[in-house]
Amino acid sequence: TKEASSRYASHHFTSRWTHGGGVDYLGVAGELVARKWFGLPERWEDGYRHGACDFTLHGRRIDVKTTKYFDGRLFVNEKVSGNADAFVLVRGNARCFHIAGWMSARELIHDERRPKQFRDAYVAEDCELHDIRALAAWCKAAAFRCMGGDCPG
């Protein structure tokens, strides 16, 4: 549908720069909200970083996805899905932002999570997301397991 296409476009990229060279302010805000939650410093870079993760936490690559829809789902484009260990969903607008939760790449990247109308993406429903407070512990545990050779994907 036209509305679904519009939502897809708004979920599509959340890094600082859009393909046209403009700043993606919603994506920047979402990343800053997530960074603040984890006590990480603000970091600004010039240029569009297609497929790059937004920050690392205990050695795990985290990609923040931001949507203006307060009922929005975690929506990750196939082209950027392989570069992160976990995805964080932030919802918000100019006045209010909320971290909806997170999901590991291992949980998200499966063919059954591809919506029929957008076969180049993966989607997770709100009820499937983990509480954001569990992400740091997961990253620490994943880093510990990786030292023993069992690296999470």
The predicted structure's pLDDT at residue 79: 78
Residues 6+ apart with CB under 8 A from 100: 72, 74, 89, 90, 91, 126, 129
Question: What's the average model confidence in pLDDT over 123-134?
Answer: 94
Partners of 102 in the β-ladder: 88, 130
Kindly report, residue by residue over 39-56, the tens digit of the pLDDT. 998 876 655 555 578 899
Kindly report, residue by residue over 68-104, the tens digit of the pLDDT. 998 889 999 887 777 899 999 999 987 899 999 999 9
Question: What's the average model confidence in pLDDT over 119-138?
Answer: 92
Q: How confident is the prediction for the chain on average, in pLDDT?
A: 78
End-to-end CA distance of the chain: 33
The predicted structure's pLDDT at residue 20: 57
Which candidate, 89, 86, 95, 101, places its Cα nearest to that of 10? 89
- The answer to which of 4-13, 34-43, 62-71, 112-121 has the lowest mean pLDDT is 4-13
